[in-house]
C-alpha cells in the first residue's frame, strides 16, 4: 500500500525523494511505529503527514525540505520530526 501511495505522488518532480527521505528518517527514529497517510505540497516545502500504526486519530504533520538530502539523521529535519 505504501508503494501505491508513493507512486501516486510522482506528479511533482522531487516529491518522491523528499517523501522517501522523510519516511526513512521516521523509520530510523521511530522504527516500525509510523505510516504515511498523506502528503501536501506547500509553497516552499512538503508537509508529510505521518500516523502511528493502528491509531485512526493521531496525525503528525511533518514539514520536509524539497531537497531530500536535507532530511537525514542529525539535521534540522530530524529536529522537526
| DSSP symbols for the chain | -HHHHHHHGGGSTTHHHHHHHHHHHHHHHSTTTEEEEEEEE-SSEEEEEEEETT-SS--EEEEEESSGGGSSTTSHHHHH-
For the segment 49-71, what is each residue's pLDDT rounded down to a tens digit?
Answer: 999 999 989 999 988 888 888 88
- Domain range annotation of the chain: 2-80
Q: Answer whether residue 12 shows pLDDT above 80.
A: no
- pTM above 0.85? no
Amino acid at each position: 500500500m505504501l508503494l501505491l501511495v508513493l507512486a501516486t505522488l510522482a506528479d511533482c518532480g522531487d516529491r518522491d525523494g523528499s517523501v522517501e527521505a522523510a519516511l526513512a528518517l521516521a523509520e530510523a527514529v521511530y522504527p516500525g511505529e509510523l505510516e504515511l497517510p498523506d502528503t501536501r505540497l506547500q509553497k516552499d516545502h512538503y508537509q508529510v503527514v505521518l500516523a502511528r500504526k493502528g491509531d485512526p486519530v493521531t496525525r503528525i504533520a511533518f514539514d520536509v525540505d524539497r531537497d531530500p538530502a536535507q532530511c537525514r539523521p542529525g539535521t534540522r529535519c530530524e529536529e522537526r520530526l
